[in-house]
Amino acid sequence: METKDADLSRLKIDRSEKSVNPDSHRNRTIGIIIGLIAALVILFFVLRSSFTPGIEVKLTTAVTQSPSQTNASLTASGYVVAQRKAAVASKGTGRLIWLGVVEGDKVKKGQIIGRLEDNDIHALLDQAKANLLLTQADLKDADNSYNREKALLKTGSATKMEVDAAEARYLRVLASIDAAKANINSQEIALENMLIRAPFDGTVLTKNADIGEIVSPLGASSTSRAAIVTMADMSSLEVEADVSESNIEKIKISQESDIVLDAYPDKSYEGYVSKIIPTADRSKATVMVKVGFKHYDDRVLPEMSAKVLFLSDKPKDEAKDEKPALIVPMTSLTNRGGRDVVYLVREEKTVEVPVTTGRKFNAYVEITSGISDGDKVIDKVTDQIKNGIKVKVL
């Protein structure tokens, strides 16, 4: 083969200094060092941003309130309660045969709203009237007999004993007449007790019994009803609110207040403190305060939940008809680059949001655009607060 004639002496490794490039080796080393330093710097900043707690901030909520609410010294929750309310029942016991009202009906004082079965009472009344006629007939006979015996006594034809007996019979008949009249009166009262009348002018709230059910004044059994309807005087509605003992000193009789029903949060009603109940609830450490309405409409119903804002000053007349406004504290608003902004917090970082402002109410300002009701913004914005910085919410 041709490989046998090859000159192997020419195959050798050149170890001379020409084969080694020191600059290349040095450059590679420097590049590695620079890369390590850059990686360490990046790691340092990453770790520092990860472990830095950030600026401590507090959040406040943007809420929709009426202008007068910004002047509230205290807020309490309660319920609308009718101060005149009654569970209307009969005085007698019997089966309900007629019910003339349903829920929502308006009734007048003394109006008949129900009737119980009264056939037996009518029979007893007729019997009592018949007994009266009978005793009245006996009275005429007893009177004639008594007068006759007195005349005979004068002629000596009758004795004193016979006259006394005739007089006693006459007096017994008179007493029987009185008893018969009392019995008639009693049956008439029993008959009246079968009629159920409205105790005052009001509105029927609930219907508690149906025709055919037994109605009893005390609901003596599980099958009888104590009341046929529940009614209330709708002109006596007030809010009963529980106020903490520690804040009761802020409440005064006739103090101006603002009432907002949970059912209609955009509508407020003017009110005043009508009564402070002179006792506390030890289990809740509260005192009940009754707040009357100055004016209210048909939307206000008993047992509705409400919030009462006790005002420190009487609201201005021009602010009464103003619409509710979305407000934030003045300390949450700042100016950046010539525009008004507030700061939200997303994933522990600030988010700058431009807003449009409107009216000012003491320490609050109206926000007309940019954020919504319920958004939480940073309170007490300082120069350190900027877009995108890390913060810690307290």
Average pLDDT, whole number, for the chain? 85
Where in the sequence of the chain do the CATH 2.40.420.20 domains occur? 55-68+323-393
**What pLDDT sits at residue 153?**
86
Architecture of domain 71-84+235-318: Beta Barrel (2.40)
pLDDT at 1 over 50: no
Task: Give the other-Cβ count within 10 Å of 64's Cβ.
Answer: 17
Please state, in angstroms and rounded to a whole number, the distance separating the CA atoms of residues 80 and 308.
11
Please state, in angstroms and rounded to a whole number, the distance separating the CA atoms of residues 210 and 121.
22
Where in the sequence of the chain do the CATH 2.40.30.170 domains occur? 71-84+235-318
- pLDDT tens column, 297-348: 999 999 999 999 898 765 555 555 567 788 898 999 999 988 999 999 998 8
Where in the sequence of the chain do the CATH 1.10.287.470 domains occur? 118-193
Average pLDDT over residues 214-235: 79
pLDDT at 144 over 80: yes
- pLDDT tens column, 355-387: 999 988 778 899 999 999 889 999 989 888 999
CATH number for the domain running over 118-193: 1.10.287.470
For 115-173, give the DSSP string: EE--HHHHHHHHHHHHHHHHHHHHHHHHHHHHHHHHHHHHHTSS-HHHHHHHHHHHHHH
For 55-68+323-393, give the CATH class.
mainly beta
- pLDDT tens column, 26-62: 767 777 888 788 777 777 665 555 555 678 888 988 8
CA distance readout (Å), 96 to 90, 100, 112, 115, 204: 10, 11, 13, 6, 18
Pairing of strands 55-61, 268-281: unpaired
Percent of the chain with pLDDT over 70: 85
Q: Does domain 87-116+194-232 have CATH number 3.40.50.2020?
A: no
- Of 195, 206, 212, the C-alpha closest to 102 is 206
For 184-239, give the DSSP string: HHHHHHHHHHTEEE-SSSEEEEEE---TT-EE-TT--STTEES-SEEEE-GGGEEE
What backbone phi and psi angles, to 5 degrees, belong to 178? -60, -40
CA distance readout (Å), 201 to 81, 100, 115, 198: 17, 15, 19, 7
Average pLDDT over residues 223-232: 84
pLDDT at 266 over 80: no
- Residue, of 217 and 294, whose pLDDT is higher: 294
Pairing of strands 94-99, 256-261: unpaired
- pLDDT tens column, 63-99: 887 766 666 778 899 999 999 999 998 888 889 999 9
pLDDT at 196 over 90: yes
**What pLDDT sits at residue 268?**
83
Q: Please give the structure tokens belonging to residue 390.
A: 């890390």
- pLDDT tens column, 203-221: 999 999 999 998 887 655 5
Where in the sequence of the chain do the CATH 2.40.50.100 domains occur? 87-116+194-232
Query: What global pTM score does this model have?
Result: 0.60
